[in-house]
C-alpha cells in the first residue's frame, strides 16, 4: 500500500506522489510571535513533526520550512503597551516558541525563515502581481484584486457573492472589491517600516508566506500545512496571490489538522478556556502531552480535558510498564521458553511494522498505529515470564522504530516511570510505599469479605487526597 493523504483542495484522499521522485518540499505556517504558544499551536507542531518524521522514515529527502511571522499588528500593539521596539517582542516569543517545541520533542525544520528577513522577496512578488494586473496601489497600500483571479475560494470552497452579502466588512473606498486583501500596508506614525516603491510600510500577512515558501521550495511544491483555521483566509489568499503571480499551481497537497476543544467547547480567550503549552507542562509530562495529541487522527477535533490527559498518561504508563518488564527480563537469566504461550507475542511483534506502516500510510492514522502498539503490550503482559530473550530484543527494536516516527516511547522505561511517579507524588501527605501497603491490606480485607475494614482504608486514603480506582485488573490510585 502506498501513502495516501487527504488533500483539502480536492476534498479526498489521494496517493502521495511528490513532484520530484525521492524528494518532498513541505511548508507549514508557523506562529505570529507576540505571546506564548497555546495547545492549538502544540497540536499543529506535533502533527507536522510527525509527518516530517514519517516521510523521512519512508526514505524521502524532506525540505521542511516553518516560518515565523515577526511583524504584525499584534506584535506592534504589544510592543507599544510595553514601551519597547517591536523586535524585542518578536525575538522574545521566537525564543519561547523554540523552547516549547523542543520540550515536545520536535525535530528542527530545514529552514525557519522570518518575514522581516525577506522584505526584498516580498516586494518583488508584489511587483509581479501589479505587472500582471492582479494587484493595485491604493495610497500607500497595495491590495490584491480578488475579482481578477477567477479561481478565488477554490481551496475553502466558498462563494464570493454569498460571503460579500453576509460579511460585516468595514467600508474602505480605496478597495475595488470589499474582499480585496492587503499585500502591503502603508505605515502609520510610530510604526516600524521598510522602504518600498509604494512608500514606507510593511508586508501583509498572506504575502509573507508566499514569498518565503517560494524562496526555499520553488514556485510549486508538494505539501502546505497548518491548522484548519488557516484554510480561509490565509491559505486561500496565499494560493490566489501565488498562482496569480506565477501562472502555475502553487501546492500539490494541502494538509490541515483539526481543532483543539477544551472540555468539549471551542478554545477561546473570551471563554476563559485558553491554555498555553507552558501551563499544561507544569501539570503533565511533555511526552504525555505529545502522546495525547497523537492519540486522535490529526484531522479530527480533539478534546483537551484533565480526564483525557490523565487517560493519556495512564495509557503511556501502561506501555512503559510493559517495556520496563522487557528490560528487566532481558537483564535476568535466560529461562526455558514456553513457546506455545508466546505465539501471540511473536505474531504481534513480527506484524507490528506492517500494521504500523499500513496505518500511517492511510493518511497518517496515528490513532490506529498506537492501537497496534497496545495490542503488542497486551501480548507482552501475557507472555513476559516465558518469552525468549531473542523475541524480547525484537520487541525493543520494533518499538524503537515506532518511537522514531511518533516521537514518543523514546525514553528509557525506568526513567519515564520515575518521572511520572515524581509528578504524582509531589506534595503528597503519604508515602507511595504506605499507599501500596494499605491497598494490599484492603485487598486482603475484601477477600475476607471484611467490607467495613475495606471501606475504612478507602476513606483513610481519601482523607489524604488519594483516590482508589477498582477494576477487573486490580486497584490503582491517583491523587485527588
**Residue 208, pLDDT above cutoff 90:** yes
pLDDT in tens, 96-122: 999 999 999 999 999 999 999 999 999
Cα 191 from Cα 372, distance rounded (Å): 54
pLDDT in tens, 115-152: 999 999 999 999 999 999 999 999 999 999 999 999 99
More confident residue, 263 or 279: 279
Instruction: Give the residue numbers of the binding site for Zn(2+).
Output: 29, 209, 234, 238
Residue 182: strand pairing partners: 143
The domain over range 4-266 is classified in CATH as 3.40.50.620: yes
More confident residue, 30 or 431: 30
> What pTM did the predictor assign?
0.91
Average pLDDT over residues 173-178: 87
Q: Which pLDDT belongs to residue 475?
A: 86
Instruction: Give the residue numbers of the binding site for ATP.
Output: 269
Instruction: Give the residue numbers of the binding site.
Output: 29, 209, 234, 238, 269
Average pLDDT over residues 411-437: 87
Q: Which pLDDT belongs to residue 339?
A: 65
**Residue 168, pLDDT above cutoff 60:** no
Sign of CA dihedral 183, 110, 27, 223: positive
Collapse the DSSP code of 387 into the 3-class scheme (helix H, G, I; strand E, B; otherwise coil) and give the result.
coil
- What percent of the chain shows pLDDT beyond 70? 95
What would the grid cell of residue 465 be? 487526597
The domain over range 306-418 is classified in CATH as 2.40.50.100: no
Least confident interval from 190-194, 368-372, 383-387: 383-387
**Residue 369, pLDDT above cutoff 70:** yes
DSSP state string for 292-317 = HHHSS-TTS-EEE-HHHHHHHHHHHH
DSSP state string for 414-452 = HHHHHHHHHHHHTT-SS-HHHHHHHHHHHHHHHHTT-HH
Question: pLDDT band at 336, cuts 50/70/90?
Answer: low
In the block, cell 522584505 appears at 119
The answer to whether the beta carbons of residues 335 and 380 sit under 8 Å apart is no
- What percent of the chain shows pLDDT beyond 90? 80
Q: Which pLDDT belongs to residue 181?
A: 97
Q: Which pLDDT belongs to residue 273?
A: 78
Q: Which pLDDT belongs to residue 174?
A: 82
DSSP state string for 194-220 = B--TT-SEEE-HHHHHHHHHHHHH-SS
Average pLDDT over residues 347-369: 97
More confident residue, 177 or 431: 177
Distances (CA, A) of 5 to 2, 93, 355, 366, 479: 10, 32, 17, 13, 41
pLDDT in tens, 39-56: 999 999 999 999 999 999
**Residue 344, pLDDT above cutoff 80:** yes
Question: pLDDT band at 221, cuts 50/70/90?
Answer: very high
pLDDT in tens, 12-46: 999 999 999 999 999 999 999 999 999 999 999 99
Domains in the chain: boundaries: 4-266, 306-418, 427-479
Amino acid at each position: 500500500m502506498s501513502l495516501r493523504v487527504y488533500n483539502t483542495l480536492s476534498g479526498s484522499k489521494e496517493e502521495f506522489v511528490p513532484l520530484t521522485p525521492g524528494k518532498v518540499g513541505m511548508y507549514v505556517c508557523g506562529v505570529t510571535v507576540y505571546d506564548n504558544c497555546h495547545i492549538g499551536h502544540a497540536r499543529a507542531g506535533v502533527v507536522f513533526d510527525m509527518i516530517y518524521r514519517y516521510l523521512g522514515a519512508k526514505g524521502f529527502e524532506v525540505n521542511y520550512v516553518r516560518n515565523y511571522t515577526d511583524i504584525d499588528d499584534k506584535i506592534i500593539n504589544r510592543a507599544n503597551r510595553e514601551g519597547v521596539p517591536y523586535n524585542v517582542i518578536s525575538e522574545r516569543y521566537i525564543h519561547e516558541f523554540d523552547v516549547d517545541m523542543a520540550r515536545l520533542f520536535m525535530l528542527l525544520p530545514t529552514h525557519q525563515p522570518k518575514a522581516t528577513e525577506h522584505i526584498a522577496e516580498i516586494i518583488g512578488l508584489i511587483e509581479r502581481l501589479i505587472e500582471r494586473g492582479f494587484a493595485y496601489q491604493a495610497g500607500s497600500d497595495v491590495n490584491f484584486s480578488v475579482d481578477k483571479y477567477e479561481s478565488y475560494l477554490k481551496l475553502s470552497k466558498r462563494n464570493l457573492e454569498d460571503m460579500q452579502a453576509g460579511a460585516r466588512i468595514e467600508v474602505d473606498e480605496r478597495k475595488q472589491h470589499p474582499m480585496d486583501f492587503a499585500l502591503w500596508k502603508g505605515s502609520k506614525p510610530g510604526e516600524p517600516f521598510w522602504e518600498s516603491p509604494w512608500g514606507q510600510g510593511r508586508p501583509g500577512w498572506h504575502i509573507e508566506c508566499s514569498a518565503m515558501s517560494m524562496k526555499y521550495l520553488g514556485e510549486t511544491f508538494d505539501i502546505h500545512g497548518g491548522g484548519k483555521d488557516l484554510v480561509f483566509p490565509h491559505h486561500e489568499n496565499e494560493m490566489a496571490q501565488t498562482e496569480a503571480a506565477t501562472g502555475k499551481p502553487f501546492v500539490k497537497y494541502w494538509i490541515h489538522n483539526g481543532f483543539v476543544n477544551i472540555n468539549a467547547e471551542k478554545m477561546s480567550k473570551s471563554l476563559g478556556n485558553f491554555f498555553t503549552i507552558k501551563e499544561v507542562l507544569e501539570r503533565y509530562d511533555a511526552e504525555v502531552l505529545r502522546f495525547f495529541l497523537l492519540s486522535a487522527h490529526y484531522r479530527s477535533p480533539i478534546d483537551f480535558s484533565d480526564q483525557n490527559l490523565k487517560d493519556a498518561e495512564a495509557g503511556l504508563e501502561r506501555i512503559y510498564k510493559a517495556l520496563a518488564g522487557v528490560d528487566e527480563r532481558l537483564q535476568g537469566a535466560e529461562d526455558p521458553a514456553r513457546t506455545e504461550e508466546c505465539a501471540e507475542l511473536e505474531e504481534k511483534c513480527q506484524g507490528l511494522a506492517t500494521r504500523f506502516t499500513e496505518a500511517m500510510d492511510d493518511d497518517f492514522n496515528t490513532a490506529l498505529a498506537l492501537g497496534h502498539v497496545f495490542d503488542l503490550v497486551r501480548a507482552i503482559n501475557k507472555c513476559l515470564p516465558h518469552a525468549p530473550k531473542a523475541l524480547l530484543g525484537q520487541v525493543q527494536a520494533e518499538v524503537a522504530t515506532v518511537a522514531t516516527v511518533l516521537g514518543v516511547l523514546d525514553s528509557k522505561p525506568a526513567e519515564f516511570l520515575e518521572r511520572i511517579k515524581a509528578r504524582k507524588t509531589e506534595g503528597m501527605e503519604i508515602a507511595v510505599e504506605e499507599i501500596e501497603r494499605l491497598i494490599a491490606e484492603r485487598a486482603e480485607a475484601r477477600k475476607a469479605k471484611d467490607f467495613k475494614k475495606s471501606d475504612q482504608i478507602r476513606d483513610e486514603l481519601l482523607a489524604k487526597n488519594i483516590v482508589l480506582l477498582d477494576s477487573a485488573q486490580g486497584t490503582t490510585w491517583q491523587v485527588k
